Chain A
Amino acid sequence: EAQVTQNPRYLITVTGKKLTVTCSQNMNHEYMSWYRQDPGLGLRQIYYSMNVEVTDKGDVPEGYKVSRKEKRNFPLILESPSPNQTSLYFCASNRHSGANVLTFGAGSRLTVL
Chain B
Amino acid sequence: SQQGEEDPQALSIQEGENATMNCSYKTSINNLQWYRQNSGRGLVHLILIRSNEREKHSGRLRVTLDTSKKSSSLLITASRAADTASYFCATDLSYSGGGADGLTFGKGTHLIIQP
Please, which residues of chain A bring their CB within 8 A of the CB of B43?
A: 43, 90, 92, 102, 104
Please, which residues of chain B bring their CB within 8 A of the CB of A104?
A: 42-44
Q: Which residue of A lies closest to B1 (CB)?
A: A59
- Cβ of A78 < 8 Å from any Cβ of B? no
Is B100 touching A48 in the complex (CB atoms < 8 A)? yes
Q: Which residue of A lies closest to B90 (CB)?
A: A102
Is A94 touching B98 in the complex (CB atoms < 8 A)? yes
Is A41 touching B42 in the complex (CB atoms < 8 A)? no
CB distance from A51 to the nearest CB of B (A): 10
Residues facing B in A67-97 (CB within 8 A) are 88, 90, 92-97
Residues facing B in A1-57 (CB within 8 A) are 4, 30-33, 35, 40-43, 45, 48, 50, 56
With contacts A103-B45, A106-B41 known, is A48 near B101, CB below 8 A? yes
Please, which residues of chain A bring their CB within 8 A of the CB of B101?
A: 33, 45, 48, 50, 56, 58
Number of B residues, CB within 8 Å of A: 30
Q: Which of B41, B92, B99, B107 contacts A40 (CB 8 A)?
A: B107
CB distance from B108 to the nearest CB of A (A): 6
CB distance from B38 to the nearest CB of A (A): 10
Q: Which residue of B lies closest to A103 (CB)?
A: B45
In angstroms, Cα B96 to Cα A97, docked, is 9
Please, which residues of chain B bring their CB within 8 A of the CB of A96?
A: 98-99
- Which B residues contact A (CB, under 8 angstroms)? 1-2, 30-31, 33, 35, 40-45, 48, 50, 88, 90, 92, 94, 97-108
- Which A residues contact B (CB, under 8 angstroms)? 4, 30-33, 35, 40-43, 45, 48, 50, 56, 58-59, 88, 90, 92-107, 109
